[in-house]
A and B are shown apart, each in its own frame.
Chain A
């Protein structure tokens, strides 16, 4: 085998789940419980880092007997649903947390980028923060001195470099933080979801830099929910689920497997727990209707007339004055395709129902054949109430309406455009119509 950089051998990590305290139901009982509480608290706090009885049901295996090997110069992506143990793995490899069992061996200096701008202090200037952040990432002062000009140049905040960080915009902070990280020289770099911040131009720049790092023969471990980025940067990927490795191999096939894993576990929308927003109004259901048959279907033909039906219910608002809905349609690998958006106002309508269904009708449905997923965000009375990622999945098959004899080839999702073609002959004066 070729030279390895990271060797993980039967690694496990345990955490203790929160234990619900026993509640006394009499006054006397609570008095006793109050007197005893210091002893109970002490036992609980001392127990935080100790695991003597492995059969204890309050123990949670964040990582369960994981083994793999990363070769020198390899860029490897780690994907998996929330709570799969990705971050725990990175924390152990970057020595922030200790494993409970097993071991990992790392050849070469390792640097972890689990957050952009770690150690930044608002009262220091941009320049001082470069030194602060750089030394925390394991650089020496000399090293930073040499690279200071390049770092400042890369960050694009030269004009504010001697201003206190607290006056920076959040975008500037992120750029400065990434600029420092971009000049790290360690042989092994661990990156966690840091590209999720900043504007799209900045993200592109980051991805470019990450690509460079990987091509310089350094080893990169990359955790991200951006599956496109994982596929672009890494040849190999590992899929984690519930603390165990489900698949390890070519990144395209691993990402595919991950998406299928995700598709398989769609729960009914109103039972989903992984939502954002304040919750005053909730999304309860989404369906896709083929208007020819007026039936809810999982598969539609491109070019047909369809409707998305989005049901909502007000939980806390007595009156809905305004309702705004935004749907983002993504391809199977979460490549953004197109937004759908509507805002309704009660001044134009005779009141908005407390629970209702919003219908979005699309004639000549213009999507290429493929698998799609969508995120839905709901705003009511000007407040962000509910948002669900991957709220709905559907499939489109070629319908013939757009006259596409040409197969788009890669089975990749995209948009169809109504088009008219003509041919002109520059030699003849008259236009061929």
Chain B
């Protein structure tokens, strides 16, 4: 631990659970910025469509869902045009699944960095999550014409959006941090990721509405913080009643997740260089 007062670092085996060293993170903040820039640049380098992929992916998925679940299966979307209904879910969901997917392999992919130089390792999965916010922002731009076409004007509910985004970031970052640390020691994470995210999507109201879940189960269902985020998104943009109960639940669950995953990460951090 580097001590600013005595200008001395003591290097010894760390024991038990270690809290985050905020001073160190602040000292290295420029590194987080450049890691994020690197992540973004590298992702869209040498591609024809470049950043447009950030629009194509959620929009085309929403279109496919509209055809299958909106027209063929006729899932109940509470009277909301299905394309809006699914796109508003796809926006946060694409961010969530994309960042967790990117981050889960991030530490392993950066093994050369981890074994050659010291810096706060948590920046690697976190930068992968931050890099995805660019896609999210671009996704919002497409939302505007979609809303106009369907004649929907967001009202005061939109003020809740920052809180919803915060929950989304906390949830994503905690899983990014958790899975990246697990993948260093257990490569099974890489194989399980796609499949887990797919399962997770079906426990999240992406293609259906949370209100179709039986009342008695809804409390348990809302333990998934993405329920609050997605239903919150729909309510914020379409002026529906805010599902506060779910949002508050999401706040609590995501905070617990963040504390647990950072603690796990810090606990495992010391052996990264030895086992990666």
Q: Select from chain B the residue with minimum beta-carbon distance to A131.
A: B34
Cβ of A162 under 8 Å from chain B: no
Among A44-79, those with CB < 8 Å from B are: 45-46, 48-49
Cβ-defined contact, A103 with B185, below 8 A? no
B84-134 with Cβ < 8 A to chain A: 112-119
Given contacts A92-B11, A98-B13, A99-B13, whether A137 and B117 have CB atoms under 8 Å apart is yes
Q: How far is the CA of A98 from the CA of B28 in the complex (A)?
A: 20
From A105, A131, A139, give the contact of B9 (CB < 8 A).
A105
Partner among A48, A108, A128 whose Cβ is within 8 Å of the Cβ of B274: A48
Among B28, B119, B185, B270, residue most surrounded by chain A Cβ atoms (within 10 Å): B119
Q: Whose C-beta in chain A lies nearest to the C-beta of B117?
A: A118
Shortest distance between the CB of A65 and any CB in chain B (Å)? 14
Q: Are A49 and B38 in contact (CB under 8 A)?
A: no
Taking CB as reference atom, which chain A residue is nearest B44? A123
Whether A100 contacts B13 by the Cβ 8 Å rule is: yes
Contact A93–B46 (Cβ < 8 Å): no
Set of chain B residues within 8 Å of A136, measured between Cβ atoms: 31, 113, 117, 119
Q: How far is the CA of A421 from the CA of B142 in the complex (A)?
A: 90
**Chain A binding site: helix, strand, loop or mixed by DSSP?**
mixed
| Any A CB within 8 A of the CB of B10 | yes
Write the chain B residue with the least CB distance to A142.
Answer: B30
The interface residues of chain A lying within 8 Å CB-to-CB of B219 are: none
- The answer to whether B41 and A135 have CB atoms under 8 Å apart is no
Given the complex of chains A and B, what is the CA–CA distance between A92 and B274 in angstroms?
Answer: 11
Let me know if B30 and A98 touch, CB within 8 A. no
Instruction: Give chain A residues whose Cβ lies under 8 Å from the Cβ of B11.
Output: 92-93, 95, 98-99, 103-106
List B residues 24-42 near A (Cβ within 8 Å): 28, 30-31, 33-35, 37-38, 41-42
A98–B38 alpha-carbon span in the complex (Å): 28
A123 B42 Cβ-Cβ under 8 A: yes
Q: B271 contacts which of A48, A99, A102 (Cβ < 8 Å)? A: A48
Contact B271 A101 (CB under 8 A): no
B115 touches A123 (CB 8 A): no
**Across the interface, do A135 and B31 meet the contact criterion of CB distance under 8 Å?**
yes
Please measure, in the bound complex, the distance between the C-alpha atom of A430 and the C-alpha atom of B42, giving whole angstroms. 78
Are A140 and B30 CB-contacts (below 8 A) given A100-B13, A107-B8? yes
The answer, yes or no, to whether A94 is at the interface (CB within 8 Å) is yes
Complex Cα distance A121/B117, Å? 16
Which of chain B's residues has its CB closest to A98's CB? B270
Residue from the set A15, A119, A137 with the largest chain B CB neighbour count within 10 Å = A119
CB distance from B12 to the nearest CB of A (A): 4
Q: Which of A123-168 contact B (CB under 8 A)?
A: 123-124, 128, 131-132, 135-141, 164
* Interface check A96, CB cutoff 8 A: yes
How many Å lie between the Cα of A171 and that of B28 in the bound state?
29
> Among B30, B38, B118, which residue has its beta carbon within 8 angstroms of that of A141?
B30
Beta-carbon contacts under 8 Å, B183-234 to A: 185-186
Interface size for A (C-beta < 8 A) is 44
Given contacts A101-B13, A105-B8, A123-B41, contact A94 B274 (CB under 8 A): no
With contact pairs A100-B13, A123-B41, A123-B45 given, residues A46 and B185 touching in the complex (Cβ less than 8 Å): yes
How many residue pairs between the two chains, A and B, have CB atoms under 8 Å in the bound complex? 116
Q: How far is the CA of A168 from the CA of B83 in the complex (A)?
A: 47
* Chain A min CB distance to B131 (Å): 13
Contact between chains at A132 and B34 (CB < 8 Å): yes
B249-276 Cβ-contact flags toward A at 8 Å (1 or 0): 0000000000000000000001101110
B36 to chain A, nearest CB (A): 11
Chain A, range 1-38, C-beta contacts under 8 Å to B: 15
Q: Contact: A135 with B186, CB < 8 Å?
A: no
Q: Is B57 an interface residue (CB 8 A)?
A: no
A164→B41 CA distance, assembly (Å): 11
Bound-state CA distance A173–B12 (Å) is: 35
* Residues from chain B with Cβ under 8 Å of A45 in the complex: 185-186, 275
Check A49 against B30 for contact (C-beta < 8 Å): no
Task: Verify if A227 is at the interface (C-beta below 8 Å from B).
Answer: no
Please state if A96 and B10 are interface contacts (CB–CB under 8 Å): no
- Is A110 in contact with chain B by the CB < 8 A criterion? yes
Q: Which residues of B contact A112 (CB under 8 A)?
A: 116-118
Taking the complex as formed, is A358 at the interface, i.e. its CB lies under 8 A from any CB of chain B? no
Instruction: Indicate if the CB atoms of A132 and B38 lie closer than 8 Å.
Output: yes
Determine the distance from Cα of A136 to Cα of B112 in the docked complex, in whole angstroms.
12
A315 proximal to B (CB < 8 A): no
Query: Which residues from chain A contact B275 at a C-beta distance below 8 Å?
Result: 45, 48-49
Q: Say whether, besides A15-B274, A46-B185, A91-B273, A96 and B116 are in contact (CB < 8 Å).
A: yes
Closest to A188 in B: B9
Q: Tell me if A246 counts as interface (CB < 8 A to partner B).
A: no
Partner of A97, one of B9, B33, B34, B273: B273
Residues of B within 8 A of A114 (CB): 116-117
Residue among B2, B10, B12 having the largest count of chain A Cβ atoms under 10 Å:
B12
Q: Considering the complex, give the chain A residue whose CB is closest to the CB of B30.
A: A141
Answer yes or no: A390 CB below 8 A from chain B CBs: no
C-alpha gap A136/B28 in the complex (Å) = 8
In the assembled complex, which residues on chain B have CB atoms less than 8 Å from the CB atom of A119? 38, 113, 117
Quick check: is B23 within 8 A (CB to CB) of the other chain?
Answer: no
CB distance A96 to B117 under 8 Å?
yes
Question: CA–CA, A135 to B118, complex, Å?
Answer: 11
The answer to whether A185 has its CB under 8 Å from any CB of chain B is: no
A193 at the interface (CB under 8 A from B): no
> Does A248 sit at the interface, judged by CB under 8 A?
no
Please name all residues of chain A whose beta carbon is closer than 8 Å to the beta carbon of B37 when the two chains form the complex.
128, 132
In the bound complex, CA of A281 to CA of B112 (Å): 34
Residue of A nearest to B29 (CB): A140
Minimum-distance CB pairs A-B, first 6: A49-B271, A103-B12, A123-B45, A95-B118, A135-B31, A141-B30
B residues neighboring A (CB under 8 Å): 2, 7-14, 28, 30-31, 33-35, 37-38, 41-42, 45-46, 112-119, 185-186, 270-271, 273-275
**Could you give 7 example pairs across A and B, Cβ below 8 Å?**
A48-B185, A91-B115, A101-B13, A110-B9, A114-B117, A131-B34, A137-B117
A interface residues, Cβ below 8 angstroms from B: 15, 45-46, 48-49, 91-110, 112, 114-115, 118-119, 121, 123-124, 128, 131-132, 135-141, 164
